Amino acid sequence: MLDIRDAIRALLDRDRSALVVSTCGYITRDLYNLEDRPQHLYLVGTMGIAAPLGLGIAVAEPGRRVLVLDGDGSFAMNPGCLPMIGEQRPDLVHAVLDNGAHESTGGQRTAALGDPVAMALACGYAAAHRIETADRIAAVELTRAPTLLHIPCAPRSHRAGRRVEPSPQQLVARFQTELARKNEETPTG
């Protein structure tokens, strides 16, 4: 099974220009410590919100790909966003990093997810895949949107990295500045 950091790195390498929304807990800390960038929006203390927030950003920024880094616990908390994403069909890659645990709160086992791939397809996602290697992350076809990637990951064997240092308000302001800067660079119709 993949180390969760290797999965995140492989996802980031797929599209360096993607807007990235990461769920709360250790996934956000892993992303922040791997590579802090202005187009990364870290959700601190919000569980189950990464996918709906990613949807909103993708609808508001139709020329940009959005990568949602979701955990299995967050995914299980908010499956109601799947039909909304499926209906809107944004350019969104919804990665569910599944290690079977709520790691940042003590490692409790998460509720069984069932089959996230089948759930996403039933809710209107254009594509969904179970991915088990970094090579497969690099090779999977992502031209049909939205796409869900269910990525089983090994239990954490490393310490969590440092906490996200900017405040949520600073993170939002930085992200908005990045969107405005990028939109100024992109000529309109």
Residue 44: the pLDDT is 82
- Whether residue 189 is contained in a domain is answered as no
pTM of the model: 0.90
Question: What's the CATH code of the domain at 50?
Answer: 3.40.50.970
The number of residues in the chain equals: 189
When pLDDT is cut at 50, 70 and 90, the band that residue 76 belongs to is confident
Tokens of 170: 């600073």
Query: How high does pLDDT run on average in the chain?
Result: 89
Helix axes 26-34, 4-14, angle to 10 degrees: 60
Question: For residue 71, what are the domain limits?
Answer: 4-182
Q: Which of 79-83, 100-104, 174-178 has the lowest mean pLDDT?
A: 100-104
Tokens 């290697």 belong to which residue?
133
Number of domains in the chain: 1
- Whether residue 187 is contained in a domain is answered as no
When pLDDT is cut at 50, 70 and 90, the band that residue 48 belongs to is confident
- Whether residue 126 is contained in a domain is answered as yes
Residue 109: the pLDDT is 67
- Whether residue 49 is contained in a domain is answered as yes
- Whether residue 188 is contained in a domain is answered as no
Provide the β-strand partners of residue 19: 66
Residue 181: the pLDDT is 86
Beta strands in the chain (DSSP E): 19-22, 40-42, 66-71, 92-98, 101-102, 108-109, 127-130, 147-152
Give the Cα separation of 90 and 137 in Å (integer).
Answer: 20
Residue 70: the pLDDT is 93
